[in-house]
Structure formats: structure tokens, C-alpha cells
Structure 1
Amino acid sequence: MVTFDGRAAGREPAQWDRRIADFAPLRLIPGGRTLVVAAHPDDESLGAAGLISRLTGQGYLVEVVIVTDGGGSHPGSPALTRRALTAQRMDESRRAALLLAAELEPVFLGHPDGEVREHRDAVLRDLRVAAGGSPLEGVPPASRIVTTWRGDGHRDHRIVGELCALLADELGAELLEYPIWLWHWGNADDADIPWDRFRSLTLSDREAVVKHRAIAAHLSQIAPIGDDPADSAMLHPRFLQNFDRDVEVYVVAPQPAQGRQEREGSDSSPPEQGLGAPYFDDLYARKADPWGYADRWYEQRKRDVLMATLPHQRLGRVLEIGCSIGVLTRCLARRADSVVAMDVSHVAIDLARQNLTDLTNVDLRVGDLRTTLPRGSFDTIVISEVGYYLAVAELQRFAGTISALLAPGGSLVLCHWRHPVADYPLSGDEVHAIVSDILPIRPMVRHREEDFLLDLFSTDERSVAMRTGLL
């Protein structure tokens, strides 16, 4: 029998350990605008706080919408009127949101708690407005909708999930659903639950901590609001243990074909192998500068932004991965003691040698980052416009090894084009998300434009002013 009384202990959380361990990892496609929809104030913290923290921390646009006022959690309470309880729960969600991101402000639709079915049409209208964005104000439609799971059993959760699924289909958006009450009433061996659609998102230590703090902000739900039995804590401590894990669980749905990027085509399976030397040799054979590095203002400006981001005036020993014909290499060499510049294409390296004959501190090498990286350590590592040529597993392996080449106090910079390209296995946003998740160092600079991303990681967390003695 399904029950929604959170005051009861519910299932033993340990029963879920084996089941959750078997879930495939969530392949999180970054970028765009994410709309997180909660049926009640606290669902967003319980189900998706880690995801919200990750996406906002990576500079992506996230909006939280809470459908109901939450005023039905303590019926018959002598301590708080429904109006006072509603105000308190809204304030709790605001404080929880600020723990996840400095400027995150939830949108409260204010529909009556427990009456989503009765107000279904009005809720749909409000959610459609929230999901559609405001193009005139520069707010795009949602490319991802994260909401309560339709199979959660709770009526409000089910209907909110159904409405969000409808909107995701209309927009061609990715749909992720988070279970809440499943952990209370469910059985890990229940064959009727679609376990094959469940995915796990492993949280970093920071994400797990801020999620714990966000949940703790909902005091009206996790602690008594008065001495009367009607004022007891709504959520049992054992139930809350289900949300104190280092993973979040999401239920995925097939993504509508209209909403997929062209590069993915009709097959949503990620490629197992990225692009190799023949692809690039052919490009350079047809045109010596396929991307216009030497003459496009866009490329010149992007190089200037990258060079200005590097925190040291002198770059020391530099490794440039994916040097192409050597245009950025020349800029690096001006500030470097030495540069090792590598590219998978021997044609590109031959062209770079012709372009850089006057430089004596540059070592040009043909090499594939998947199999060959230079020995030694480097003060500066530059990875520009190369990551999206790799398959996911290849990029993950590379990200797991590249930081070992970084000298103490060194810096690593990523820079990538954001728009979809049909031939590329990954987008620039995906590259930065994957590498950021794996690197053991935190970003010092995150630069976001419509056209490109730039992230700087450094083992020295001091600002430039501190490094140069201004502070």
C-alpha cells in the first residue's frame, strides 16, 4: 500500500543501495536553459539540489518554479495558520536556493497545495509561460525540464510531471524526473517500476554538502513547528536519509526528435570513437586554414580573451594541444620560455612549421592526445577547440590524466565553440562539463559568451592581484 505520511519511517534506506549502484550514469547534456519544477516547496531541494548546484556553478541558466503554496503540510496546526505556513515555506525555499546559487530566486505559482488536479489548466498555463522563456528579454525557452516523477504516486507530483512532459514534448526539451516518495513506499525488487530508465548523477563533495544544507533550510518540514502532534516534523529522519547520498536519481524519457541537435541525428547513442588524423588531414589538404584562424576577427578576439585570461605574465613551459597551423602558438610563444605544440594532423604540423620558422622556443610535434602526451610537467596547458572531436569515454580518460602534467601553481585553459556541428561527437558545452567534473582542481575563471566558452583552472587559487602583490 502506498502511503505519503512522511512522519512514518518508511522503507529502510539501505534497501536501495544495490539498486542505485546498478543505475547507469546520467549523461548530462549541458548548455541551454534548465527549468526545475517542484510540486511543493522542498521538492526541488530533495530531488534536484545537486543538479542545480552543478549547472549554476558551471555558468548555465537555471530557473526554479514551485507550483503549489505548500500550505497543506500541517492540517489542523495550532501553531501556524495556512497563510503563515505558506509564507514560511516560501521563505525556506528562497534560503535554500541561495545556498545553491547566489542569485537563484524561485518563482512561486501559488496554486493550492493538494489541488493541482483541480487547477490543472491554470497550472499548465503558468508552466507554459515559465518554460517558454522571454525571447525579447534574452531568456530562451527551456531546453531541459526537471520535475517530479510521474510514477511517484503522489497526485500533485504525478500531475505536475505529466504537464511538464507535455511541455517538454512541445518544446523538444530534454525531460528529467526525480522521484521523492518512491523511496518511502517503493520496493527495490518491484518489477513494475521502469528501472531501465533510472539514471544516477554522482555528486561532488561540494554538491553533496550544499544539497544537505539546502534540505536543512526547510525547517518546517524536518523539525516540529510546535508542541502539538499536528505540528510534528513532516519528514521522518529515516526518510531523509534517502536524500543524504552522494548521488541523485533521475528518470529519463526518450527525447523528442525535433528537440535534438542536428549532430546527433536519429541515433541518440554516443559514438565510441572520436575523429582521427585522416579527418583533419583531409580538411587541411583542401584548405590550409579551414577555420580562418589567421584572418577572422572572431578568432583574433577569442585569442586575445584567452591570452588575457592566463594569470601569469610569463607562462613558463607551455603545452598546447591541438595547435593547428600555429596562430595561437605564436601568441603563447611571446610569453613562454618554451612551447610544446602538438596536433593529430601531420599536414597541420607541416603548415605550422612553415608559419613559425622565426621562433626558436617552439617544439612542434605530431601526436594524438588519446595515445601520446609529452613527458614532464608544464606551467601552462592550453586545450583550445579540440575536446569536441573526442568521444565521451575518450575525453573522460584524457581529463583524468592531463592534470598530472600540470606543474605546481600551473594553469590549464579550455576554450571551445558552443554551436552544434554535425560531424563532432560532442558540443563545446559538453566538453567543459565533462572536464570540469573530472579535473581535481576548481575553475579560477569561467567566461561565457553565446559563441564560445573559456574556463581557466589553476592549482594556485590566488587572484592575479594577490599573486602580483597588490593585495
Structure 2
Amino acid sequence: MVTFDAAEAGTPAREWSVDPRLHSRPALRIAAFDELVVIAAHPDDETLGAGGLIAMCHDLEVPVRVLCVTDGAASHPTEPRLAEARAAELASAIHQLAPGSTLEMLGFPDGKTDQYRDDIRTELAGRLRDVSPRSAIAAPWRGDGHRDHRVVGEVAAELVGDRTLLEYPIWMWHWATPDHDDLPWERMRALDIDVKTKSRAIESFASQITGTQPILRPDFLEHFARGQEFFMTGDHTPDREYFDALYEKSEDPWRFRTRWYEERKRRITIAVLPEERFERGLEVGCSIGVLTELLAPRCESLLALDISARAAEQARELGLSGAEIRVQDVVKEFPGGEFDLIVLSEVGYYWNAEDLRATTKKMFESLTPEGVLIACHWRHPVDDYPLSGDQVHAAIAELEWTRLAHHLEEDFVLEVFSKDPRSLAQREGLA
């Protein structure tokens, strides 16, 4: 558990501002949410961490609802009627960010969320019961280091269901540094905001920013004077049920069979194969078999895997000679034996960074000395995916192989990697 002292100076805002990773986070795409529900552990959390998001949703005419779990009275325990003051400050801040929004104070004791966790869960579950699947829930980041933030964030994650979860950090900016091991850079998304409106709302919290011992020190507030807010997304790797549900709704969820974009990309993938024939191929994430159908004639044997039984059944119906279609999760169970061709197409961004590193290492180890890995991924950000396509390819490139081909477009990146550094012309004695 991270420990910190709010009364002491933390990591300066300028140390974060000079780190290029902060300025290269994928953009958080605000979809057509039915509603934005912001859950705060204390009055001011929602404004510090998600004030810009609240204001933006209000401008987009998306209904905003704020649920504050505790009364915030533990910040200055000797101050009389502090709970009432903080509730009034919160109401003022929300009025400036999103006039007419709903504010609900749950009134749990500040600093005791661990003791009241079950009651908090019951209260929040009741208030979220009618929130539609197309809504977003913003809550404190579970790794923020403050016990109340952790508990409230964990409860929100338990209740989010099919809705979008956006976790906002607050004290992370204070105790962490850009190189801290606990920072999930790969999950962090950036949102451009109206910082002037947010700053005016923050000024509402006089009990926290004034006096001889302010909780929100001026140097700490510098972290929230940026023109961006940051949210952690995509915590959970999509599982078998996620993909089966997609194929239950549609036999071809991504329109592989009908989109020219998809057909063209398949043709490019086949065109970059550096050998005419391969002994044993592995296709990770074969889906309904449209790429498998082109790979099978180029391999003596092809093992095509997919996590979804519904997708694999469609691929089997193609009756491809020399191709074995198997339901298997390579993250949990990587196939044995050696391969001289591995194809990883539109799969890697579904994994988290740790699983990606471990699985690509297994791919590297299973390749024959002259074998090749073909990787192809969509480059645009998708909120449900833990990683971007560019992050996937950057991780693959870290291993000790040679990039033989690199095809980059606005929409996708396709690369060929091999342990053998020789080009095709060199392999055939032409160069």
C-alpha cells in the first residue's frame, strides 16, 4: 500500500509535464453516453479528477449525476459543521461545471470506507441499478494510494457491469513519479478539457485550499491546472464470454467478409509473406477463418486458434485442407512444438501489457531459426482495448529479432519479424 503525507510537497507538476509519455496518451473518446455517473470518495474528488469530463458531458447534453460517498469531515476533524460546509462547496462546484446536474450525498464517515464497505456497495448498487449499459461510470483510480479512493474505486469496478469504467487519479500525481512501477501507462487515456471552468469550480472548496493547513496545497493543485484530464481504462482483458457474445449478436461482427478494407488488408498480409511455402504455421485469433482460408494453401500444416467456440465453428465449416481449427487461449495455454510461420493479426491489443510480453516471448521461442512472425493491428484507439496497435508492435520489437518488413498506414500497421536477419533476396542468394 502506498503511503504519503498531503502536508508535504510531492512530485512537482513540472516533473510530469516534461515526460513525453504524458503528452502521447491516446485520446479518451467520449462516446454517445446515455449518462455520466461520477462517484467520489470525498467532496472535491469529482472536481479534481473529472471536473473537465463533467463539464464536457454537460455541454454535450449528456445527463450528469454525482454520487459522493463520504461527508469529508475528517480533513479537519476539529472544525465544527465541516460536513455541511463541504456539501455546500460540492454543490457550488457541480453547479459551475454542470448546472442542473443531480448530486447525491451518501453521508458515510470520512476515513472509514473499509469498515462500511458492504453498506457502501449496497447503496451504490441501488443507485446504479437503472443506469443503462451505454452509460459511463467515473470513479477514483483503485491504485491512487488513498484508502477511501481504493475502496470506493474497487466497489465501483465491482458494480460497473457492461458500462464504461473511467478511473481518475488524484493523489497519484503527488506520491508517484513518471517512472513509478505502479503506473499503468498503457491504460491511461487523455481528455482535452476547459481548464478555466474546472479551475473556477476547484475554488469552491475553500475549506480545503485555505487556512494554515490546507489539504489541497497550491503546489498540489498545479497538477489540476493542465488542459487535460487523465483516466485509466480497459482494466479487464476481454474474455471468452465477451467474444462469444459478439458472435451471438452477429456471425461476422467486424464484417470481415463484406468490407473492402478487410479484404485489402488480408491481401497485403499474404503479399508480405517472405516464403512461398511454410512447414508449420500458427494463426492466433483466426476468428471466422477468412485469413485462415488464404494461409492454409501456403502451409503444409496450419494450426488456427481462437478463444471463441462460435467463431471457430464457422472457421471449421470452411473445410480447409491441412488446417486444424482449435478453441484455445494462447495466453493461458500456448501450443507446443516449433513453427516457421506465426500470424498475429488484430489480437495483441486485447491483452494487457504483461500478457503481451509473456505471449510474444513464447512466440519468439517457438519460432524456428528462419521462421517469421507476421503482426498486423488497427492503429486507432478503442476504449475497450487495454493497448493500442502501436503499443503492441513496440512491445514485439523489443525482442531480439529483425524487422524484415514494415507497412504503415493511418489505419493499421503490418510488420514481419524474424530471428534470421537476412532479407528474402539474401536468402535466395541474390544480394
**TM tier, smaller:** 0.5 to 0.7
Q: Give the secondary structure class of the aligned counterpart of 2:232.
A: strand
Which residue of structure 1 lines up, in the alignment, with residue 196 of structure 2? 209
Q: Give the secondary structure class of the aligned counterpart of 1:217.
A: coil
The two structures, once aligned, show a CA RMSD in angstroms of 3.3
Q: Give the secondary structure class of the aligned counterpart of 2:143.
A: helix
Q: Give the secondary structure class of the aligned counterpart of 2:57.
A: helix
Given the alignment, which residue of 119, 126, 129 partners 1:129? Answer: 126
Q: Distance in 1 between matches of 2:144 and 2:68?
A: 17
Q: Give the secondary structure class of the aligned counterpart of 1:94.
A: helix
Residues 225-283 of structure 1 deviation map (CA, whole Å, 9 limit, x = unaligned): xxxx5xx2111101000000000000002466789996997999999xx999xxxxxxx
Q: Distance in 2 between matches of 1:210 and 1:275?
A: 45
Q: Distance in 1 between matches of 2:38 and 2:2?
A: 26
Question: Which letter does structure 2 place at the counterpart of 1:216?
Answer: E
Q: Give the secondary structure class of the aligned counterpart of 2:160.
A: helix
Residues 237, 217 of structure 1: CA spacing in aligned structure 2 closer, same or farther, 3 A cutoff?
A: same
Question: Which letter does structure 2 place at the counterpart of 1:41?
Answer: P
Question: Which letter does structure 1 place at the counterpart of 2:8?
Answer: A
Which residue of structure 2 lines up, in the alignment, with residue 250 of structure 1? 231
Question: Which letter does structure 2 place at the counterpart of 1:183?
Answer: W
Residues 202, 266 of structure 1: CA spacing in aligned structure 2 closer, same or farther, 3 A cutoff?
A: farther
TM alignment of 1:37-48, pairs within 5 A = 37-48=39-50
Residues 270, 123 of structure 1: CA spacing in aligned structure 2 closer, same or farther, 3 A cutoff?
A: farther
Q: Distance in 2 between matches of 1:222 and 1:270?
A: 54
Identity %: 39
Say yes or no: does 1:237 pair with 2:237: no
Residues 70, 3 of structure 1: CA spacing in aligned structure 2 closer, same or farther, 3 A cutoff?
A: same
Report if the CA contact (8 A) 1:33-1:141 is conserved. Answer: no
Report if the CA contact (8 A) 2:25-2:190 is conserved. Answer: yes
Q: Distance in 2 between matches of 1:268 and 1:193?
A: 33
Q: Give the secondary structure class of the aligned counterpart of 2:139.
A: strand
Report if the CA contact (8 A) 2:33-2:134 is conserved. Answer: no
Report if the CA contact (8 A) 1:173-1:259 is conserved. Answer: no
Q: Distance in 1 between matches of 2:46 and 2:260?
A: 39
Residues 117, 233 of structure 1: CA spacing in aligned structure 2 closer, same or farther, 3 A cutoff?
A: same
Question: Which letter does structure 2 place at the counterpart of 1:246?
Answer: G
* CA displacement at 1:35 relative to structure 2: 1.0
Question: Which letter does structure 2 place at the counterpart of 1:26?
Answer: L
Say yes or no: does 1:14 pair with 2:1: no
Given the alignment, which residue of 153, 163, 166 partners 1:161? Answer: 153
* CA displacement at 1:158 relative to structure 2: 0.4
Residues 201, 7 of structure 1: CA spacing in aligned structure 2 closer, same or farther, 3 A cutoff?
A: same
Question: Which letter does structure 1 place at the counterpart of 2:165?
Answer: L
Report if the CA contact (8 A) 1:67-1:110 is conserved. Answer: yes
Which residue of structure 2 lines up, in the alignment, with residue 67 of structure 1? 69
TM alignment of 1:201-350, pairs within 5 A = 201-203=191-193, 207-224=194-211, 232-254=213-235
* CA displacement at 1:165 relative to structure 2: 0.4
Residues 323-377 of structure 1 deviation map (CA, whole Å, 9 limit, x = unaligned): xxxxxxxxxxxxxxxxxxxxxxxxxxxxxxxxxxxxxxxxxxxxxxxxxxxxxxx
* CA displacement at 1:105 relative to structure 2: 3.4
Residues 171-191 of structure 1 deviation map (CA, whole Å, 9 limit, x = unaligned): x11111000000000011123
Q: Distance in 2 between matches of 1:150 and 1:220?
A: 25
Q: Distance in 2 between matches of 1:268 and 1:148?
A: 33
Given the alignment, which residue of 128, 137, 140 partners 1:148? Answer: 140
Report if the CA contact (8 A) 1:65-1:109 is conserved. Answer: yes
Structure richer in helix, relative to its length: 1
Which residue of structure 1 lines up, in the alignment, with residue 187 of structure 2? 197
* CA displacement at 1:7 relative to structure 2: 2.6
Which residue of structure 2 lines up, in the alignment, with residue 89 of structure 1? 86
Report if the CA contact (8 A) 1:64-1:105 is conserved. Answer: yes
Unaligned runs of 5+ in 1: 134-138, 277-424, 426-471
Report if the CA contact (8 A) 2:33-2:136 is conserved. Answer: no
Report if the CA contact (8 A) 2:26-2:189 is conserved. Answer: yes
Report if the CA contact (8 A) 1:131-1:141 is conserved. Answer: no
Which residue of structure 2 lines up, in the alignment, with residue 450 of structure 1? none
Q: Distance in 2 between matches of 1:179 and 1:132?
A: 25
Which residue of structure 2 lines up, in the alignment, with residue 33 of structure 1? 35
Q: TM-score, normalised by structure 1?
A: 0.50
Number of aligned pairs? 257
Given the alignment, which residue of 168, 171, 177 partners 1:178? Answer: 168
Residues 69, 131 of structure 1: CA spacing in aligned structure 2 closer, same or farther, 3 A cutoff?
A: same
Report if the CA contact (8 A) 1:46-1:180 is conserved. Answer: yes
Report if the CA contact (8 A) 2:63-2:101 is conserved. Answer: no
Question: Which letter does structure 2 place at the counterpart of 1:234?
Answer: I
Report if the CA contact (8 A) 1:178-1:249 is conserved. Answer: yes
Question: Which letter does structure 1 place at the counterpart of 2:15?
Answer: Q
Q: Give the secondary structure class of the aligned counterpart of 1:152.
A: coil
Which residue of structure 1 lines up, in the alignment, with residue 281 of structure 2? none
Q: TM-score, normalised by structure 2?
A: 0.54
Report if the CA contact (8 A) 1:34-1:142 is conserved. Answer: no
Q: Give the secondary structure class of the aligned counterpart of 1:36.
A: strand
Report if the CA contact (8 A) 1:10-1:239 is conserved. Answer: yes
